[in-house]
Amino acid sequence: MSTVYIIDVESGNLRSLTNSIKHLGNYKVVYIRNHDEFEMYNEDIELLIFPGVGNFGHFVKNLDERGLMEPIKNYLATGRKLLGICVGLQCLMKSSEESRGVSGLGLLNIELSKFNKGDEQFSLKGQSKSVPHIGWSHNHRYSSPQVMATMNEPLYSIGTEDKFYFVHSYAAIIDSKVKADLLSEAEKDGWKFVFSKYGSEEFISAMSKDNFFATQFHPEKSGIAGLRVIQAFLEEKVPHTSCTNKSFVPHSGYPSRRIIACLDVRSNDDGDLVVTKGDQYDVREKSDTQSGDVRNLGKPVELATKYFEDGADEITFLNITSFRDSPLQDLPMLEVLKLAAQNIFVPLTVGGGIKDMIDPVTGEIVPALKVAELYFKSGADKVSLGSEAVTIAEEYYRNGKIKSGKSAIEQISTCFGNQAVVISVDPRRKFIKSPKDTNMQCIQIFDEEKYGPDGEEYCYYQVTSQGGRKVHEIGALELCVACEELGAGEILLNSIDHDGGNKGFNLELLKQVKESVSIPVIASSGAGAPRHFADVFEMDCGIDAALGAGMFHRGEYKVSDVKDYLRSRGMDVRFETTKV
Ligand code: 1PR
């Protein structure tokens, strides 16, 4: 049995990486957390993985404090195998705009820069480019025709047909700083590069020299295509024969439309954890013949696995009764995540109860950061904050928009990266007679049939918390703007008015919010048919992810039906049919 060693600086989800390695064969996985552990295993290490998430400076500082920089440098010099992932690729560069004054390992004289929100390619379509870049993208070329000519097989099985999951704001972007000649010099020195594009910006997506290999994308989160890449690294074979170096073709630079399956989870009256769904957040059966029980639509892990196999690009689990305190080690979703992460190799988000909490057993205050960390260790890639985000945004406005640095959004994003923090918003429409009646930005209603019950011609979307139970004097737009400012990386935008209605997403609300933030917005609530997903993507305001719940749970449509439909409308979606 071979052993795979993984550098663990406790800043992310290593469970998925470990699971993907175990899924591929009979491997033992050992974590290396500090200098002493590195030295203890050093002579035995033949396969080393160096995964990184979050902020460049935070990650490098962590490596430094643990005395790992030198051992990694020395290891590389011996020519043994190493796979760097995401910030694990970035920190091999000289530096990053993200953390001025912090030096990486400096294998290449490259400074990473941030994606440009004002990308012309997006502006031409009247959209702003979302940053971070979150989603599934192609790789579209190797560095130069000369390098390609020397290659008979794709680098570590990275071909052009497959899409890989990226989540990052900074990259080795080929621009005036990272000039093409710098790369050709590196090529002469034996480096090979693979490039991807986000909008008009081209960046290094993977690179390799001798036994060293690194990817900006997350192979452990890239479905079957990603598993093949890890397998190619572990086994030094290239099993995917259908792509060749000749098959690279330029692609648009727009990530695929993401289809997310969402599972609202809670205990039913017998105490079993079930996936449920209602309308407008009421999840109890209503018909005369039913007893008012919690609607049971299946088991969380079974359903999630089915959706993964059917092509879901991400899975979201929401603990909808999180306002009831649980003992820290007994949070119901921890087990769900651990089991789900064993066989699901796309990003997993968990929400519900990510807040400072009091452990009812020990009476101790547990900070939200610690709660989030438990979820990351159990297999989550992102955590979603609902009620806590409302409290944080209210405080932010009360304090004259001054950041305290102490909020859960700021703390989790600093440690685990902005991409790891999703804000789940539960707004309900509020009609008003005049914009003067509120401080919130409102929407004018032009269609008379849609006026409020007393003929109101304006509305805004008033935020609720605790699953719609508590109403707040803050609008969805204002909440999202504050959370982006504080470091959130993505918005999951529900709409109580549309939830469970099967009549389509709330386009008016989605447009209003997306036009005010530059982080990605996930459309949620109301999906009842594949055409509803097309409606939201064709709105062209920059929304590239949409979520369905009830229509999938009730078996009315499969994820693949939605993707087939979108493809028939000329939209780019990820398809994956083969096994590793
Ligand atoms: O406030 O941080 O503890 O998080 C609680 C989380 O649980 C929030 O994300 C909140 O949206 C969610 N939640 C709370 N109560 C309910 C409920 O239904 N009673 N679910 C609930 C909200 C919204 C989506 C739903 C879509 C799509 N559900 O998850 O799946 O609306 O549904 P559809 O496609 O069937 O229309 P905290």
User: Which pLDDT tens digit goes with each residue over 165-193?
Assistant: 999 999 999 886 667 788 888 999 999 99
Which pLDDT belongs to residue 302? 97
User: 430 falls in which pLDDT band (50, 70, 90)?
Assistant: very high
Atom of ligand 1 nearest to the CA of 502: 36
Does residue 480 have a known ligand-binding role? no
Domain extent listing, the chain: 1-233, 256-276+298-567
Averaged pLDDT, 466-484: 97
Bridge pairing between strands 470-475 and 81-86: unpaired
Q: Which of 123-127, 214-218, 419-423 has the lowest mean pLDDT?
A: 123-127
Mean pLDDT, all residues of the chain: 90
User: 504 falls in which pLDDT band (50, 70, 90)?
Assistant: very high
Signed CA dihedral, 289, 294, 299, 305: sign only: positive
The two structure tokens encoding residue 35: 């200098």
8 A C-beta contact, residue 167 and residue 196: no
CA of 83 relative to ligand 1 center, distance in Å: 38
According to the CATH classification, is domain 1-233 in 3.40.50.880? yes
Averaged pLDDT, 291-308: 92
DSSP state at residue 8:
-
| Residue 561: active-site member | no
Q: Which of 82-96, 227-241, 400-414, 533-547 has the lowest mean pLDDT?
A: 227-241
Atom of ligand 1 nearest to the CA of 319: 7
8 A C-beta contact, residue 356 and residue 365: yes
Which pLDDT belongs to residue 238? 42
Residue 552: phi and psi, rounded to 5, are: -80, -45
CA of 318 relative to ligand 1 center, distance in Å: 6
Query: From atom 12 of ligand 1, which residue's Cα is the shortest distance away?
Result: 320
| Residue 218: active-site member | yes
Q: Cα separation of 167 and 54, whole Å?
A: 10
DSSP state at residue 42:
G
Instruction: Give pLDDT tens digits for 438-451.
Output: 999 999 999 999 99
Can you identify the CATH homologous superfamily of domain 256-276+298-567? Aldolase class I (3.20.20.70)
Q: Which of 260, 268, 281, 480 to mutate to test the pocket of ligand 1 (most atoms within 8 A of CB)?
A: 281
Averaged pLDDT, 355-370: 88
> Is it the case that residue 579 has pLDDT exceeding 70?
no
Does residue 439 have a known ligand-binding role? no
Which pLDDT belongs to residue 551? 97
Which pLDDT belongs to residue 121? 87
| Residue 153: active-site member | no
- Choosing from 426, 478, 484, 499, the catalytic residue is 426
Which pLDDT belongs to residue 176? 67
Instruction: Give pLDDT tens digits for 228-256.
Output: 999 999 997 544 333 444 445 556 788 99
- Ligand 1 pocket, 277 CB below 6 A? yes
CA of 108 relative to ligand 1 center, distance in Å: 45
Averaged pLDDT, 344-349: 96
Atom of ligand 1 nearest to the CA of 282: 19
Query: From atom 6 of ligand 1, which residue's Cα is the shortest distance away?
Result: 352
Which pLDDT belongs to residue 330? 65
8 A C-beta contact, residue 476 and residue 513: yes
